[in-house]
Amino acid sequence: MTTSEKIARRLLEAGAVKLQPASPFTWASGLRSPIYCDNRVLLSYPSIRSEVIDGLEELAAGFSDIEGIAGVATAGIPHGALLADRLNLPFVYIRSKAKEHGRQNQIEGRVESGQRYLVVEDLISTGGSSLKAIDALKGAGGDIAGAVAIFSYEFPAAVRAFQLADVELSTISGYDKLLQEAAATGYISKEDAQALATWREDPRAWSEAFLTSGK
C-alpha cells in the first residue's frame, strides 16, 4: 500500500473525512457538498498522527534547501509544528489576517529575511487561503520553497492557482485515492462513488442539482 492510499484509508478510519452523497453537508458558501474533511481529528490518534508526519516528511524531502516550516492557521499549525520538530527546523505560523490588538501580527514567530520556508496546510480546496498565507510570508521577507498538505480535493482550479503563483504543491493524498479506498473498503457504494466523482467535476452544479431535486 502506498503512503497516499494508507493516509486516505486513515482519514476514513478516524472519521476525519465523511462521505454523504445522499445527505450532503452545507459549506459556509451555502453550497451542498457530499464530503466533509476535518484533519484536526487526526491529532487525537497518536499512531495516525505519526503516519501523517511521516508522509509530510516524505514530501518535504522533495523540496530543496528548506530552512523553516510555516503552518497556515488554524489546522495547518499543529501538523506544521510537528513536522518542524521532526526536521529540527524553525517554525512560524500565519493567520488569515493580522490581529486587531497587541502587536497586530499576522505571522507569529521570527521570519528571517531570505529564509526558505515550506508551507504546511492540512487541506487544499480552492487553494485561496494557502496562497494568501504565502503572500503574507513573502511580504514579511520569507522565500517559498513550496507547499505541502495532508489532503486535496484536487480541484482543477486549485492546480491552476498554484501554477499561476509559481508555487510547487505536494499532498500526501487526494480525492481520487480517497474514493478508491472508500470503494475498496465498502465505505461507499458504486452509486455513491459516481455521485462523488460528479461532484468534483463541478461542485456548484452538483449542489444546485441536489437543491432543485427537493431531497
For the chain, what is the domain count?
Answer: 1
Give CA–CA dist 62/82, Å, rounded.
18
% the chain with pLDDT above 70:
96
Per the annotation, does 62 bind a ligand?
A: no
Geometric angle at alpha carbon 55, from 50 and 60, rounded to 5°? 120
Per the annotation, does 116 bind a ligand?
A: no
Q: Residues 134-143: pLDDT tens digits?
A: 999 999 999 9
Range of the domain at 79: 3-213
Geometric angle at alpha carbon 174, from 173 and 180, rounded to 5°? 100
Per the annotation, does 112 bind a ligand?
A: no
Higher pLDDT, 214 or 179: 179
Instruction: Show Cβ contacts of residue 99 under 8 Å, excluding neighbours closer than 6 positions.
Output: 105, 106
Do the beta carbons of residue 136 and residue 93 sit within 8 Å?
no
- Overall average pLDDT of the 159-179 stretch: 97
Least confident piece of the model among 26-30, 151-155, 204-208: 26-30
Of 204, 45, 69, 94, which Cα lies nearest the Cα of 144?
69
Beta pairing, strands 35-37 & 17-19: antiparallel
Per the annotation, does 125 bind a ligand?
A: yes
CATH number at residue 133: 3.40.50.2020
Per the annotation, does 79 bind a ligand?
A: no
